[in-house]
Amino acid sequence: MPIDLTLHQRRRPPTADELQAIPWLRLLQPGERARAVAELQVGDAAAGDYVCRLGKPVTYWFGVVQGLLKMSSDNAQGMTMTFTGVPPGGWFGEGTALKREPYRYNIQALRKSVVAGLPVDTFHWLLDHSIGFNRFVMNQLNERLGQFIAAREIDRMNNPDARVARSLAALFNPVLYPGVGEVLRITQQEMAYLVGLSRQRVNEALAALEAQGTIRVEYGGLRVLDLDALRSSVFAVKGEDRT
């Protein structure tokens, strides 16, 4: 396949295994599921590919089957602000799809990823016909509100250990990202992109978290051992405020 094709041009029907990784499909009635499956598309994103861009019209409701994406925006000074990462199982942009408004953020692949898209018209059809789909979307919106309130708190933190802990906890949200489970496949450099710290500083914070028994660093990823402690990061705010 030519590498100069856009992600949209590389779209294809999902495989059976990829459909199994879409959490809301199992909540649909048979007729609803058949329509959704017929309309779903997936794209194989390379690192750096944009899934959607600030100001572009909404065409799909997107989700991550494999890989890792980041949600960010550029301010008037040209600086990039990262809002959150989107790991496997995560679906995003339901607010934008509901209002059919232009995107207010960029979504970019941090590594090779498989991204699924449901056409926005099918998204609205399911909202009109499926109780299970409505409940899923309402839960998404509720969790998303909490996520962005937490993100505002993280932005104001001066303690790097606490920033890394809270940012990691957000990626282990079982409602928004059911595909993660107990192990998040992420590198220290990818974590640095999401948190806005250097890779070396992220490494120090992860070592502190591991020493507290909150996480365990494994080959190719991180295992959460105490999600409540990760969310509160009480140990971090008591520690030394290193920069």
pLDDT digits (tens, 9 = 90+) for 212-238: 999 999 988 899 998 888 887 644 444
Looking at the fold, whether 81 and 33 belong to one and the same domain comes out as yes
Q: Which of the residue ranges 19-23, 29-33, 82-86, 113-117 would you say has the lowest mean pLDDT?
A: 82-86
Determine, yes or no, domain membership for 106.
Answer: yes
Read off the pLDDT band of 243 (50, 70, 90). Answer: very low
Q: Which residue, of 151, 183, 211, is where some domain finishes?
A: 151
Residue after which a domain boundary falls, among 100, 126, 151: 151
Residues 34 and 146 in one domain: yes
pLDDT at 146 over 80: no
Spatial distance between the Cα atoms of 239 and 243, rounded to a whole number of angstroms: 12
Same domain, 121 and 192: no
Structure tokens at 79: 């600086």
φ/ψ (deg, to 5) at 90: -85, 135
Residue 6 belongs to some domain of the structure? no
Domain hosting residue 121, numbered range: 16-151
209 has pLDDT over 70: yes
46 and 129 share a domain? yes
The verdict on 31 and 139 lying in the same domain is: yes
Residue at 3 is within a domain: no
**How many other β-carbons are positioned within 10 Å of the β-carbon of residue 233?**
26
Average pLDDT over the chain, rounded to an integer: 87
- Whether 147 and 164 map to the same domain: the answer is no
Residue 7 lies in a domain: no
- Once rounded to an integer, what is the mean pLDDT over residues 23-44? 97
Pick from 77-81, 186-190, 239-243: least confident: 239-243
CATH number at residue 209: 1.10.10.10
Q: How many domains does the chain have?
A: 2
Q: 68 and 172: one domain?
A: no
pLDDT of residue 233: 62
The whole-number pLDDT of residue 196 equals 83
Q: Could you tell me if 142 and 175 lie in one domain? A: no
Integer CA distances (angstroms), 167 to 1, 18, 54, 60, 93, in order: 36, 27, 23, 27, 20
The pTM score is 0.83
